[in-house]
Structure 1
Amino acid sequence: MNTTLISVHTQRGATAGPIFPALDAETRSHVDTACAAYWMNRRPQTLRAWACLENGPIRPIRMHGRLAWCVSDIRQVMGDRSGK
């Protein structure tokens, strides 16, 4: 029975989660919360809390009830000076 559980967990891990582009390859000016959280190595709820409490290292813009995070701000926080 343990063998079945291990294989189920392995299969879930192999297919779970979206694929995000590398930060230096991103061409959009703003990204959604999930993508920004991935790049900043934080959980999406952390970024939502930053937006709500306005106490994080960066602030998003709000468009039609959604949060959009500026890619250049994320690059600056993460120390990427490539300037793309």
Structure 2
Amino acid sequence: MDTQNMPPELARIAQGRDFLTTAEFARTVGRAPQTARKNFCIAGHCCGVRPRNVGGRLLWPIADVARLLTEGA
């Protein structure tokens, strides 16, 4: 992930990873983790970001989160 175009706080949370956990994603976008899960169950996304289900866990792509934070919803 290119950290040059990423908001500094997101780069700090990401620590070089490509995905965020649900708790990290929720904190980043100002939602509760359960709200992010609920939005995913109802609409298939939260704030326009679609997570990947890996081993029963939702992992949120940092590239999409960075795009959301820089360009808006």
SS of structure 2 residue aligned to 1:42: coil
Structure 2: stretches of 5+ with no match in the other structure: 1-7
Deviation at 1:49, TM superposition (A): 1.3
TM-score (norm 1): 0.63
Partner of 1:77: 68
Number of matched residues?
A: 60
Map residues 5-84 of structure 1 onto 2, 5 A cutoff: 22-25=9-12, 26=14, 27-53=16-42, 54-56=44-46, 57-79=48-70
Tell me which amino acid in the other structure corresponds to 2:62: V
TM-score (norm 2): 0.71
Q: What's the RMSD between the two structures over aligned residues?
A: 1.9
Change (3 A) 1:63 1:55: closer
CA distance in 2, matches of 1:66, 1:55: 14
> Would the aligned equivalents of 2:19 and 2:60 in 1 still touch at CA under 8 Å?
yes
List structure 1 segments (4+ residues) > 3 angstroms apart after TM superposition: none
- Rg larger for: 1
CA distance in 2, matches of 1:47, 1:65: 15
Partner of 1:13: none
% same residue:
32
